[in-house]
Amino acid sequence: DAGVIQSPRHEVTEMGQEVTLRCKPISGHDYLFWYRQTMMQGLELLVYFNNKAVMDDSGMPKDRFSAKMPNASFSTLKIQPSEPRDSAVYFCASSWGQASNQPQHFGDGTRLSIL
Amino acid sequence: EDQVTQSPEALRLQEGESSSLNCSYTVSGLRGLFWYRQDPGKGPEFLFTLYSAGEEKEKERLKATLTKKESFLHITAPKPEDSATYLCAGNAGGTSYGKLTFGQGTILTVHP
């Protein structure tokens, strides 16, 4: 079975440029999560969706970040304009079901470097 | 504020030397405590979910336990392939479903 698929795997761009990260969740999963991982902060939840609707985006800097899920099999996380402090590994995860005990399954991440 | 603290930050073991990793949590109304393994360049890989104090789960050389304040990941007779970062996370459930609070992780290195 295909897992969570993220693209690109690596992105290097200059400060001020727009960056778009992409995610395809596991088929049938109705929850999708975007995380950011850094050495200092560890894994932080940015935003999550249930059935394509944003449930919580309190962890996302809304002045420059935006997240969308136009259909059940695709989500994007956009940063505009990008800043060096956005350099991190961004993970997408998906899970199934209403219960809080369902594990989240992670993709292999996008390593983002903003110069 | 929900908080998850893992210790030690790093652990070096010889192959076959058993040990334990600790995860202390203050998560209101904990609905699940999750353990993940993360290899370099990869996303976290799900290992276990624990729901209530006293619960234990095992997988190969790993056993996870849960009390009201902390969780332990016991590693019995580890092998070099067990080297990874181990993450624990708490889920408060209810209206906060999905908001996993992760600890900083324990980097485990097992030497042959």
Digit-coded pLDDT (tens) for B21-50? 999 998 777 888 999 999 999 999 999 999
B7 interfacial to chain A (CB closer than 8 Å): no
Total of domains in chain B: 1
**Among A42, A44, A50, beta carbon nearest to B105:** A42
- Rounded CA separation A87/A114 (Å): 5
- Rounded CA separation B28/A56 (Å): 18
The token pair that represents B21 in the structure block = 């990793």
- Give the residue from A112, A40, A114 showing the smallest Cα distance to A83: A114
B61 interfacial to chain A (CB closer than 8 Å): no
Q: Per-residue pLDDT tens for B2-15?
A: 889 999 999 999 99
CATH architecture of residue range(s) A11-21+51-115: Sandwich (2.60)
Q: Per-residue pLDDT tens for B94-103?
A: 666 667 889 9
Average pLDDT over residues A12-40: 96
- Rounded CA separation B49/B36 (Å): 9
**Domain span at residue B72?**
3-111
Q: CATH code at B83?
A: 2.60.40.10
Question: A27 to each of A3, A105, B52, how far by Cα in Å?
Answer: 9, 12, 30
A15 pLDDT above the threshold of 70 = yes
B46 and A103 within 8 Å at the Cβ level: the answer is yes
Neighbours of B23 (CB within 10 A): 27
The token pair that represents B30 in the structure block = 């904990």
